[in-house]
Every structure is written in C-alpha cells, then in structure tokens.
Amino acid sequence: MEKIRLDNVSFAYSQQKSMIPVISGVDLSVAAGEFVTIIGPSGCGKSTILSLLSGLNSPSEGDILIDGEAIRGTGTERGVVFQHYSLFPWMSARKNIIFGLRQLKPRRSHKELAEITDRYLSLVGLDDVGDKYPNQLSGGMQQRVAIARAFAMDSDILLMDEPFSAVDAKNKMGLQGLLLDLWNSGPRKKTVVFITHDVDEAILLSDRIVVMSACTKGIKEIIRVNFNRPRNRSALIKTPEYAAMRHMLINLLFDDLIEEVAV
C-alpha cells in the first residue's frame, strides 16, 4: 500500500529575477512501512525533498501525496528530525519534548507526557539532562534530544535529515539500532524517509536506497537492499554481496561528481 507519493515534483527558488532549480521531475513512491534512504552529493536536493515532505515548503511543480491526499503544510502524522537540532532555546530538554507531545496528545495529563518524555530521553542515553537548556548541551546531545522528541511522538511517518551526523560513533550505532527497533515496533511499521551521506548507514538501515544526481537534480537510480533483517552489522560487512553493493553506490556517487565537474 502506497503511503507517500512524489509525482513529477520540482522545486526552484528565486534569485535576482531568475529561478534556480533545486530538484527537477522527481517521481518516487514509498510504501507504508517502508524504510527509504536518499543519498547523493551536496547540492543534489536531498534536504529539499525532506522539507517538501514535511510541509515546510511547497513544490514549484508536481504533487506530493500522503495516503492519497495532497500535503497542506506540516502535520502531526509526520515526525521530523533535521540536521540542525531545531530545539527551542528557551525550553529545557524535557519541555522541548513535552511541547511536541502536547500537540499530538492534547488530552494526556502532564504526568503522562513527562513519563513518555523521560522514557525516550533514557532510550537515547540522556537520563540526566531533562532540566538542561540547549545551550548547556553539546551539539550531539542536542541532536539526541531532537531524536527523542521525534521518537516520542510515535508518528506514522518519520522524516530524518542526517539525524546522526553530529553524534559520536558509539552513540550513532546505538541510535541506528534504536531507530530500527522503533521502526519495527507496534502493530505496524512506521514509514521512514531518511537522508544520509553515509553509504554504510544507508545499506544497514534501508529497504531501498534512492541515489540523487547533482547534475540532473533528479533521481539517478533506486537500489533495493535485499539483505535479510535483522541485519548483523559485523557479519554483513564481511560478505561479498555487501562489498558489491557498497562499491556500486560509491561508483554512482563518484560518477555524478565527475559529470558535474565536466559540465
């Protein structure tokens, strides 16, 4: 069953009386419960697609549908984690999460919301920072608070723009595992659109990998990842199939960079 659809979507912004294309003619269908990762060189429009899916921007052309309905701005059915923390600086870590939860669960008591908040702060390894403000936290800790907020909201759709880029390697692996656990929990899987520069992360997490092109501003190729789940990182990276997929993806990215330089 189709959950998300981008139908011939383009986006451009105005600069000095001319339009600068960011993405062009993107067609993509994401099934309910599917984990789709978008990779590509800087400037290919990965983050733009996420901003369009979140409802923060609207396409210049084409349509974006969720459950067959056109997106009309932001919505609580979509949990979003941006690359740059996006925490309210005047709220503590706990209040940042409770604020998001209150929009989704307005009938829950403050005690219930606080219990949910503390559970997810614990899951991302931040049991003791609930009363601290963003300027008292490192960049990686701020990002983990933002991730806890998105997880706590338990939305049907998770939109994630390089959510682990500011997190150290150890916590990154833990959060990847937590994301997969949450994606697969509940009566039905969440639908995830995930952006990363990390090819290994894309292979570990995804059902399909969408490779974007900085030259065409569109989709270059879509690769299905057929490795069985759950995936054991240590065992998987030793297989020739993993090496072949990694090599193919790196070549696709490298070829696009060569084409861009040649243009």
In a domain, 169, yes or no: no
Cα separation, 49 vs 160, in Å, equals 11
Q: Quick: pLDDT tens for 156-179.
A: 899 999 988 878 888 888 889 888
Domains: count for the chain: 1
Task: Give the confidence band of 242 by pLDDT, cuts at 50, 70, 90.
Answer: very high
Query: Does residue 92 lie in a domain region?
Result: no
Is 3 domain-assigned? Answer: yes
Which residues constitute the domain of residue 62?
1-71+191-263
* Strands (DSSP E) found in the chain: 2-15, 18-31, 35-39, 61-66, 69-70, 78-81, 157-161, 191-195, 208-212, 219-224
The yes-or-no verdict on residue 117 having pLDDT over 80 is: yes
Residue 65 tokens, joined: 């549908």
- pLDDT tens column, 32-82: 999 999 999 888 889 999 999 999 999 999 999 999 999 988 887 888 888
In a domain, residue 139? The reply is no
- Which residue's structure tokens are 């608070």? 145
Q: How far apart are CA 58 and CA 10, in angstroms?
A: 9
pTM of the model: 0.90
Question: 202 in a domain, yes or no?
Answer: yes
132, part of any domain:
no
Considering only CA atoms, which of 169, 206, 203, 204 is closest in space to residue 191?
Answer: 206
Residue 258 pLDDT level (bands cut at 50, 70, 90): low
Q: pLDDT of 197-226, one tens digit each?
A: 999 999 999 999 999 998 888 999 999 999
The C-alpha atoms of residue 96 and residue 90 are separated, in whole angstroms, by 9
Tens of pLDDT, residue by residue over 123-147, are: 888 989 999 999 999 888 888 888 8
- CATH number of the CATH domain containing 30: 3.40.50.300
Does residue 81 form part of some domain?
no
Provide the H-helix boundaries in 105-191. Answer: 110-123, 139-153, 169-183
